[in-house]
Structure 1
Amino acid sequence: MAEFAGFPVAALDFFDDLEVDNTKSFWEAHRQVHAESVKAPMVALTAALEPEFGTAKVFRPYRDVRFAKDKTPYKTHQGAFVGVAPATGWYVEVSARGVRTGGGFYEASAQRLAAVRDAIDTEHTGKELEKLLTRLRKLGWSIGGDTLKTKPRGYDADHPRIDLLRHRSLTLGRDHGFEPVIHTPEFADVVRRDWRELRPVVEWIAARTDTLE
């Protein structure tokens, strides 16, 4: 396997064009560009990170359109995910907007979500997560995820951590956009640094959910 050399400009251009012409004919005409400039660098990047973080899933480029109103057939980004618990782990993505890193839990069964909320509700573990997230905000991470508009059932609206309790998923992201480093081998070190920063939150979540369905 080739060593990671960065994401070429051709990868960003490919997704720029795909957003304009998301059709099978475009895909077939540019399949080799995707293979060489998008998928191959992502596979090489995740292989470089594997000794420390584990094996990544490099996602397929095809959208599941069976129940979607949007019937365009291809994803307009290429993502990869390293899981340490169900739907919990580290993420990296390349698209027309450049490269983004992230982590957290992206979805949860009712049982797993209840376990996370119970830990947020508990004074010691809830404050621990708050401190971790405050530190990451100061480091430039954005906090996202799917949230309820109202309080979750069983919790008071004036709970000191009600905003965290509203989360049905909890993710952190950092945009690297078009920074020159994304085109170089050194970007593997950038992703490694990012994922290390997220490790305490990822492990906090995994510790509450990795034994649950």
Structure 2
Amino acid sequence: MKNQILIPKSSLDFLLQLKENNNKFWFEANKTNYLKELNHIETFADALLQELSKTDILETSSGKKSVYRIYRDIRFSKDKTPFKTFWGGSFTRATAARRGGYYFHLEQGNSFFAGGFWGPNAADLKRIRSEFDNDAESFRKILNSKSFINTFGTLQGEQLKTAPKDFDIHHEAIDLLRYKQFLIMKHFSDEEVLSDHFLEKALETCKNMRPFFDYMSEVLTTDVNGASVL
């Protein structure tokens, strides 16, 4: 893989300027700079997408389509600033058999790649918990793997303070059963984001999500007996 696609410092600097001048007048006056920096981000996203597509099947068709709009939805927010102050985007995995997706967030001092299940519906959450009830070790093996720990550290996400309904507080998998979200995340320093090897590191991070995604995909596309529900 060629490491010629870089995130320039100017792309992060633009966000700082936007944060200090988060209004439509300033943005319109600096629209040319915005479009230039957006092109850098889209080019990076497209390069990552092309590499990731060699080992996964994705619905996202281009880097341009993966990058989120800079405009905030302020209709129901107390914060009325009109623009996001980060570059963000995601790659969606294709078909009902592949669950999960890759998300990236680029911002000075707060850049990360993440994936998982932010708000699983009641049926999915019930199915995941039933799997932990029957066999938690398969999932623990993924969480305890060297690549997972070195990349993501630990599983993240909101948890119940007690046991979920119909499960005993002393269940051997209570630590997993408490999760209401299943998230994995890797942070990157500004130096890493701006380095010649960031594309390579980003790709490696996404690849290291796959055992987690593949496990969840198999669970959420089968019943408790392992039969496909698709």
Q: TM-score, normalised by structure 2?
A: 0.77
Larger Rg: 2
- Aligned partner of 2:30 in structure 1 is 30
Identity, % of aligned positions: 27
CA contact (8 A) 2:160 2:180 kept: yes
**Residue-pair matches, total:** 207
Q: Which amino acid aligns with 2:86?
A: H
Using the TM superposition, give the Cα deviation of residue 195 of structure 1 relative to its aligned residue in structure 2, in angstroms.
Answer: 1.0
- Aligned partner of 1:153 in structure 2 is 165
Q: What are the ranges of 5 or more consecutive residues in structure 1 without an aligned counterpart?
A: none
Q: What are the ranges of 5 or more consecutive residues in structure 2 without an aligned counterpart?
A: 223-228
Structural RMSD (CA): 2.7
1:169-184 paired onto structure 2 within 5 Å: 169-179=181-191, 181-184=192-195
Q: Which amino acid aligns with 1:29?
A: A
Once superposed, which parts of structure 1, at least 4 consecutive aligned residues long, lie more than 4 Å away? 210-213
Structure 2: distance between partners of 1:160 and 1:34: 52
Using the TM superposition, give the Cα deviation of residue 68 of structure 1 relative to its aligned residue in structure 2, in angstroms.
Answer: 2.1
- Aligned partner of 2:225 in structure 1 is none
Using the TM superposition, give the Cα deviation of residue 140 of structure 1 relative to its aligned residue in structure 2, in angstroms.
Answer: 4.1
Q: TM-score, normalised by structure 1?
A: 0.83
The alpha-carbon distance between structure 1 residues 74 and 176, as it changes in their structure 2 partners (threshold 3 A), is same
Given the alignment of the two structures, is residue 88 of structure 1 paired with residue 100 of structure 2, yes or no? Answer: yes
1:63 to 72, 80, 95: 72
Tell me which protein shows more strand as a share of its residues: 1
Give 3-state SS (helix, strand or coil) of 1:75's partner.
coil
Give 3-state SS (helix, strand or coil) of 1:144's partner.
coil
Structure 2: distance between partners of 1:18 and 1:87: 35
Structure 1: distance between partners of 2:81 and 2:140: 39
1:46-57 paired onto structure 2 within 5 Å: 46-50=45-49, 51-52=53-54, 53=56, 54=58, 55=60, 57=66
Deviations 1:93-135 (A, max 9, x none): 1112253112222221211222222222222xx2111121122
Using the TM superposition, give the Cα deviation of residue 87 of structure 1 relative to its aligned residue in structure 2, in angstroms.
Answer: 7.4
The alpha-carbon distance between structure 1 residues 87 and 206, as it changes in their structure 2 partners (threshold 3 A), is closer
